[in-house]
Each structure stands twice: as C-alpha cells, then as structure tokens.
Amino acid sequence: MLHLFQSNRLETLLEQLAAEVARPQRKPLASETIIVQSKGMGRWISMGLAAKQSICANVRFPLPASALWELLRGVFGELPVRSAFSPEAMTFRLMDWLSKPQNLKHTPILANYLRGGDDLNAVKFSRHSGMDCRNPDCRDATNPCHPWSLGSGDPCRNDEGILNSTVLGDDLRRFEL
C-alpha cells in the first residue's frame, strides 16, 4: 500500500508516520518500506521512530530510484536485480570511461584532476571507486565538523585554525559554522 502525506513540518510527518507504522500489518514479519530523498533523512526518521516507539526495526529506507526499480521488477519480473544506473554499476562504467584518454581530450581540467594535478585539489582516482568513504554516499554519513575530518580552510575553524566550538558538557560540543 502506498501512503503519501504532505506537511511543511517534519515533526508532524514523523508523528503521522509513527502512527502508520504502529498499526498491525497483515504479514507481521514483513518489513516496512519508507521511501526517502536521502540516506540522512532515512537515519533521521529511524532515530525519530525509535525515540517515539522505543524501537525502529525491520524498516527499509530506499531512495526513489531504488524503490522504483523494485516496483518495476515486481511488475515485469525479468529485470536484473540491480538497475544499470545503480551507483555500483555506474561507478565502474564511469571509471572505465574516464580511464580512456580519448574521452578526456576535450576536458583538460578534468584530465588534470584525474592525473593528480593541483587545479582542483585533486585526489587519487581510486578514491572515486567507492572503495573508501570519500564518495558522496558515505560523505552524507559523516559530520564535516568532526575533529578527524577537519582540514585547512574548513568552516569549522577560525582564522587561527582553532575549532569554533562551545563546550556544553563533558563530551558535548556545539560547533558554529
């Protein structure tokens, strides 16, 4: 069943969602599927449901493209498990395309970036393979103001390089951007 709710307040939507999830399902072991626009929103909803109901388990938070692909597979049946446009598939297609010099001859800035040039504060090409947490999907899960992710020119530091933070308790800090 597809339910759509609209509100300008996330808290109102979370309360409505908590009420919907609390209703018994026909199949008690079936997982709930909540389509979200970002992984961060999925985490926020998960934490909000856990705060309201003391637990949030057996809930999936697919992004719209993944959810649509699952629906298409349910209708047509003979489609592959993963879309050809899934991040996993596209990563290797893009790596293959970018590794060919003839594809980069019209984009000298991108070519220099991939070679490790200084134009764009280049990083090694292997970082974009998705094998470490510097790709955009993983970056969503990190806090840019966390001490181990801070670098020069970071908005969480002042001109002297000192963290812009206020101690709120023993382990609690508020960072000002």
What are the sequence ranges of the domains in the chain? 10-76, 87-139, 143-177
116 in helix, strand or coil? coil
Greater confidence (163 vs 74) lies with 74
* C-alpha–C-alpha distance, residues 10 and 59, integer Å: 19
> Given this model, what pLDDT does residue 103 score?
86
Q: Which amino acid is at 62?
A: P
92-121 mean pLDDT: 78
Whether 158 and 164 have beta carbons less than 8 Å apart is answered as: yes
> Given this model, what pLDDT does residue 98 score?
85
Of the spans 74-88, 141-155, 163-177, which averages the highest pLDDT?
A: 74-88
Q: What pairs with residue 165 in β-bridges?
A: 175
> Given this model, what pLDDT does residue 60 score?
95
> Given this model, what pLDDT does residue 52 score?
93
* C-alpha–C-alpha distance, residues 67 and 61, integer Å: 9
Tokens of 74: 């349910």
Count other Cβ atoms within 10 Å, centred on residue 34.
19
> Given this model, what pLDDT does residue 165 score?
52
Count other Cβ atoms within 10 Å, centred on residue 45.
21
> Given this model, what pLDDT does residue 9 score?
86
Greater confidence (107 vs 124) lies with 107
Letter string b/e over residues 133-168, b meaning 16 or more CB atoms within 10 A of that residue's CB:
eeeeeeeeeeeebeeeebeeeeebbeeeeeeeeeee
pLDDT > 70 in the chain, percent: 65
Whether 5 and 34 have beta carbons less than 8 Å apart is answered as: no
Greater confidence (139 vs 28) lies with 28
pLDDT digits (tens, 9 = 90+) for 137-152: 444 444 444 444 444 4
Identify the band that residue 38 occupies on the pLDDT scale cut at 50, 70 and 90: very high
Say yes or no: domain 10-76 is CATH 3.40.50.10930.
yes
> Given this model, what pLDDT does residue 158 score?
56
Among positive and negative, which fits the CA dihedral 166, 144, 14, 58? negative
> Given this model, what pLDDT does residue 119 score?
45
Please give the C-alpha separations between residue 174 and each of 61, 153, 156, 167, in angstroms, as whole numbers: 29, 19, 11, 7
Average pLDDT of the chain is 74
